[in-house]
């Protein structure tokens, strides 16, 4: 396949269409506007529907309605808008509805800024909505990955009957890169016999619902969901390791910081320091075992967590390491992106150089 130059947000939108998504409901917010703009033009051409909702709250509930009818559907937003979607996300997890939700993260808290950030890690991985629920969170680091994982997300959502979130810092949404459109491996997917398509008088009514008023039934429902989440942990965890073998410093970073880290590793190499990168691709489920294995090598003196936040993923890093190595933090929140030299300096400080 030939390489094509694509802007991140437009690649995300095109990837959804290529994955068979014909429906999108959203609300404008920077820095993700090219996603709804692209789809507002292209979805009607393929017999689909784009609708700009009155709010993110309405948009996510439209996703709920569409997903309940068994069609592939997506919404996208950025940080403050994703906060508003949390109600719908917990309802969709409760009602077991597959859909794809994209968050092009910007600086917070509150209205924050429109520049790239990763301050929504807790919200994405811990659940900003109520109740015991989980959903996959893919964190692409390149536009190629954004295109790939958005396509994959639809299959995974259908497989588990669960929403899937794709989070990227605004940098990924806004920049352009050469990508190739490649077919993602297809999963074997169950038929959506639960969808509301009208009974036609041929079956009992299907009901899309997250209400279990009998506490025993609600407890059972939670057990069943937990088993499903466990299966996701076992089968869907993804990560990448770069230069980790026998490294002295192990960086942990995802999204744009992982790319800056690769440059920092080269700077450190010039000074005779071998550094490696552990990059979670799924933020949930978190690749804890794999991270601990990489960090437990005898060569590793320090683990440096690098985020575009004031330190959120670092909690998962510490949980994964179970105290086996010291963990230090480097990062900035609010839309400022550290340089490779700053990141390299943090690594040197961590090992006393």
Partner 1 sequence: MAIVYQKSKGLTDAELHYCPGCTHGIVHKLVAEVLEELDLLGTTIGVAPVGCSVFAYNYFNCDMHEAAHGRAPAVATAIKRVSAPGTTVFTYQGDGDLAAIGTAEIVHAAMRGEKFTTIFINNAIYGMTGGQMAPTTMVGQKATTAPLGRDKDHYGSPIRMSEIISTLEGAAYVTRVSVHDLASLNKAKKAIKKAFQMQMEGKGFTFVEVLACCPTNWGKTPAASIEWLKENMIPYFPLGVYKDVDGEVK
Provide the minimum distance between the beta carbon of 169 and partner 1 in the complex, in angstroms, as a whole number: 29
Q: Which is nearer to partner 1, 75 or 115 (CB)?
A: 75
Q: 12, 61 in Cβ contact below 8 A?
A: no
Instruction: Return the HEC string of 6-69.
Output: EEHHHHHHHHHHHCCCCEEEECCCCCCCHHHHHHHHHCHHHCCEEEECCCHHHHHHHHHHHHHC
Gap between the Cα atoms of 353 and 345, Å rounded: 9
Site for partner 1 contains 59 (CB under 8 A): yes
Using CB under 8 A as the binding rule, whether residue 9 contacts partner 1 is answered as no
The 3-state secondary structure of 285-303 reads: CCCHHHHHHHHCCCCCCEE
Q: Of the listed pieces 8-16, 54-62, 135-143, 232-240, which binds partner 1 according to CB under 8 A?
A: 54-62
Q: Which stretch binds partner 1 (CB under 8 A): 61-69, 177-185, 281-289, 309-317?
A: 61-69
Identify the residue among 6, 23, 149, 278 touching partner 1 (CB under 8 A): 23
Strand partners, 49: 23
Closer by beta carbon to partner 1, 53 or else 136: 53
Nearer to partner 1, 52 or 246 (CB): 52
Check residue 71 for interaction with partner 1 (CB under 8 A): yes
- Cβ closer to partner 1: 129 or 340? 129
Q: How far apart are the C-alpha atoms of 197 and 212, rounded to whole Å?
A: 23
| DSSP code per residue over 73-108 | EEEEE-HHHHHHHHHHHHHHHHHT---EEEEEEB--
Of 60 and 344, the one with the shorter C-beta distance to partner 1 is 60
**Does residue 210 bind partner 1 (CB under 8 A)?**
yes
- Only segment of 133-141, 169-177, 205-213, 323-331 that touches partner 1 (CB under 8 A): 205-213
Which of 69, 242, 293, 345 touches partner 1 by CB under 8 A? 69
Least separation, in Å, of the C-beta of 284 and partner 1? 23
Residue 339 lies near partner 1 (rule: CB under 8 A) = no
Contact 288, 233 (CB under 8 A): no
Q: Which of 148, 145, 129, 149 shows the shortest CA–CA distance to 137?
A: 149
CA angle, 260 then 264 then 265, to 5°: 115
Are 318 and 286 a contacting pair, CB within 8 Å? no
Does the footprint of partner 1 cover residue 202 (CB under 8 A)? yes
Q: Which is nearer to partner 1, 209 or 235 (CB)?
A: 209
Q: Within 10 Å of residue 69's Cβ, how many Cβ atoms?
A: 16
Is 209 among the residues that bind partner 1 (CB under 8 A)?
Answer: yes
The footprint of partner 1 (CB under 8 A) covers: 23, 25, 49, 51, 53-55, 57-59, 61-66, 68-69, 71, 73, 87-88, 91, 95, 196-202, 205-211, 213
């Amino acid at each position: 396949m030939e390489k094509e130059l694509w802007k991140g947000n437009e690649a995300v939108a095109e990837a959804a269409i290529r994955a068979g998504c014909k429906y999108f409901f959203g609300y404008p917010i920077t820095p993700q506007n090219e996603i709804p703009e692209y789809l507002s033009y292209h979805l009607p051409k393929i017999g689909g529907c784009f609708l700009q909702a009155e709010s993110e709250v309405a948009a996510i509930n439209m996703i709920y309605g569409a997903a309940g009818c068994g069609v592939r559907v997506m919404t996208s937003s950025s940080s403050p808008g994703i906060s508003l979607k949390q109600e719908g996300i917990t309802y969709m997890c409760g009602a077991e509805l597959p859909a794809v939700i994209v968050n092009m993260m910007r600086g917070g808290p509150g209205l924050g800024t429109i520049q790239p950030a990763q301050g929504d890690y807790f919200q994405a991985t811990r659940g900003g909505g109520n109740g015991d629920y989980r959903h996959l969170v893919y964190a692409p680091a390149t536009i190629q990955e954004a295109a790939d994982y958005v396509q994959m997300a639809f299959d995974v959502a259908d497989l588990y009957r669960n929403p899937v979130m794709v989070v990227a810092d605004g940098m990924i949404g806004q920049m352009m890169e050469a990508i190739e459109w490649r077919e993602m491996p297809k999963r074997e997917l169950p038929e959506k016999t639960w969808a509301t398509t009208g009974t036609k008088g041929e079956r009992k009514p299907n009901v899309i619902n997250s209400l279990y008023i009998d506490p025993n039934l609600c407890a059972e429902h939670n057990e069943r969901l937990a088993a499903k989440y466990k299966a996701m942990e076992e089968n869907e965890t993804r990560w990448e390791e770069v230069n980790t073998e026998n490294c002295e410093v192990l960086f942990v970073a995802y999204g744009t910081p992982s790319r800056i880290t690769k440059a920092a590793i080269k700077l450190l190499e010039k000074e005779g320091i071998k550094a490696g990168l552990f990059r979670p691709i799924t933020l949930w489920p978190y690749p804890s075992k794999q991270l601990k294995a990489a960090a437990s090598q005898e060569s590793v003196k320090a683990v440096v967590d690098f985020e575009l936040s004031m330190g959120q993923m670092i909690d998962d890093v510490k949980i994964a390491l179970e105290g086996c190595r010291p963990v230090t933090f480097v990062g900035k929140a609010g839309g400022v992106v550290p340089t490779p030299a700053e990141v390299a300096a943090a690594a040197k400080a961590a090992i006393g150089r």
